[in-house]
Structure formats: C-alpha cells, structure tokens
Amino acid sequence: MFKYFPTNYVWNLSVDLAIEMGARIGEIEEMCAPLQEAAKAPDAAGTQAFRETWVRMADKLCGLAEEDEARGRMLSAGEKYRRAASYLITAERLQAHNAPGRLAIYRRELELFLKGSALLGDPVERVEIPYEGTHLSALYYPAKGLRPGQRAPILVQLNGLDSTKEMKHLVGLPAWLAHRGVSSLVVDQPGTGEALRLHGLTARYDTEHWASRVVDWLEQHPAVDPKRIGCEGVSLGGYYCPRSVAMEPRFACGVAWGANHDWRDVQERRLQKEGDFPVPHYWAHVCWVWGAKDIDDFMRIAQNVHLDGVVEKIRVP
C-alpha cells in the first residue's frame, strides 16, 4: 500500500483507490499535502477537510475541461471530466451517509462520469434493470469488435461494501475484458451506489434475489450469450458472488476477488476492535448499507452473511 498518511489507513486506502482509477500524482500531492494534520483529527473534522481539497481539485479540472471543450479539445476535456468524477467518488465515499451535501456530490459524480465517457468515445452505456418496482443501475461495456447479431460472453461485476459501478469501471477491468472478447455489466446492487443512495435499496444476504433479475435481463440482451454469463465480486463481493453463483444456476462461472467466506466473523472481530476499517464512521455506514436500526440489529443481520453450506452448492468453475 502507498502510505501518504503515516497514521491513517482509511485515507491511504482511498488515495490508493484513486490512483487505481487514474489519479495524477501531482494532483494527489496538491490535494493531500494540506491534510497532514487533518489526517490525525477525529473522523468528522478530518473527513470534512479531505472532502474540501478533493472537491476543489474536481472543480479545477472541470474548469479546465470547459476550456478544452470551448477550443474543441474533446478528448482532453473527457479525460479531465472523468478524473474529476474519480476525485468526487473518493471524497463522497468517506462521508457519513447523512453528511450535508453528500448526495449532491454523488449526483455530480454520476453526471461527470457519463459526460467524460461520452467525450472520450468510451462505449460504456448506463442501463437500468427492473427490480422491486424500481430498477438497478448498471454500466454495460461491450466486447470489442462485436458484429451485428453476434453474442459475447459477459461478466457481471459486483461492488463490495463501499465501492460503486463507476469506481469499478475506472479501475479498468471492463476495458481489459473487452479486448479479450468479453463484455461487462458492472452493477450497483442493493446496498451500493445508486441502489442505496437514490432508491433506498439496502443489502440483503440472499443475493440471488437480485442476481436472478440481472440474469433475466441479460438473457434478453441481443448481444449477450445467455449460456456464458459469469459473475465477479470484489471485497464483500467475495461473499455476494459465491452466494449468487451457488443459488442462481444460470451463472456459468464465478470469480471471488478476495474470498469472503465468513463476514459475520469479521464483524464480530471488528466489534472487539480487531482489524482495520475501510471507511470512517464504520458502524453507521454498515447500518445504512444493511438497513439496520442500530449495531445490535446489524450484528443480528450479519449472522446470515456467511457461506457455510452455500459454497458446497456451487457447480461451476
């Protein structure tokens, strides 16, 4: 791990994620250099300072991108808009779920990501999958060189506890797969991204409830081979993915990018102050994600989040 802040694991993780999404090291320095003392402050004060410098850089990049657009430099503008989106993703991710202005930052990030992608000619497409009277939002990225009528294998990609579909797209797996003939569908499943923030859809341990709706939608997609639908999950997605593949037999394969067999045990150890937290305000965050009233209610819900008796049902690679 690149440790810009010697005493703050959560902020270091955030900086490293931003670098994976394409941050420029000079911009990292400009955003983080003023934060050395704030990194030692309690969560609320320090997180607000982090937000201010990262949003300020996003504003700066948007101003430069607007100048590029005015001069016809669309690719340069697109790069800056998408990088601005990545900095807003990073700032928003660290906020308490009820922090004033958090939702506005999130909505702006969605807008800048799509605007930047369009200017870059990125073939990513935002799609909506019907679910529970509303929808799950996802990013569809086609395999490169698909001919009309041709169907490609596709990998459904799931978030972890606090990632979003835009973050996963910017890290680069969909483009990497596209060059190898595989399409991608990066989903904001319940408990993450748009599902949680805009529709109030909280996480559930029986992931097949929503994963099956995703497969239903893909089976009707004209460019998807319905017999070659895979599933991948990162971090807590290392629970969501194996559960989905075990309980939804139409998945052809599964990829647990960081297996997460017994998440209830992880929470019990964290309650005993063992291990690092991925985000500030951790207990309030997990209660929000899982729709729990308080920590006791969350720990009750977490008792179901394990793969005992589940992985044995997996019948695919």
pLDDT at 79 over 90: yes
pLDDT at site 292? 98
| CB 188, CB 164: distance < 8 Å | yes
| CB 124, CB 168: distance < 8 Å | no
Structural domain boundaries of the chain?
1-122, 124-317
pLDDT in tens, 196-234: 999 999 999 999 999 999 999 999 999 999 999 999 999
| CB 210, CB 190: distance < 8 Å | yes
If one counts every other C-beta atom within 10 angstroms of the C-beta of residue 192, the result is 27
Q: 92 vs 280, which has greater pLDDT?
A: 92
- In this structure, are strands 183-187 and 134-141 parallel, antiparallel, or unpaired? antiparallel
pLDDT at 93 over 80: yes
Q: Which of 21-35, 110-124, 278-292 has the lowest mean pLDDT?
A: 278-292
d(CA 206, CA 209): 6
Q: In 94-187, which residue ranges form alpha helices assigned H by DSSP?
A: 102-120, 165-171, 173-178
pLDDT at site 164? 98
d(CA 68, CA 74): 7
Q: Which of 40-44, 93-97, 290-294 has the lowest mean pLDDT?
A: 40-44
pLDDT at site 273? 83
Q: 44 vs 9, which has greater pLDDT?
A: 9
Say what percent of the chain tops pLDDT 90.
Answer: 92
The chain-wide mean pLDDT, for the chain, equals: 96
pLDDT in tens, 232-288: 999 999 999 999 999 999 999 999 999 899 999 999 999 888 767 777 789 999 999
pLDDT in tens, 122-158: 999 999 999 999 999 999 999 999 999 999 999 999 9
pLDDT at site 44? 66
Superfamily designation of domain 124-317: Alpha/Beta hydrolase fold, catalytic domain (3.40.50.1820)
- Which residues, 6 or more positions from 317, have their beta carbon under 8 angstroms from its beta carbon? 253, 254
Which CATH number does 1-122 carry?
1.20.1440.110
pLDDT at site 7? 87
pLDDT at 54 over 70: yes
| CB 269, CB 302: distance < 8 Å | no
Q: 190 vs 42, which has greater pLDDT?
A: 190
Considering just the CA atoms, what is the radius of gyration of the chain in Å?
A: 20
pLDDT at 185 over 90: yes
pLDDT at 35 over 70: yes
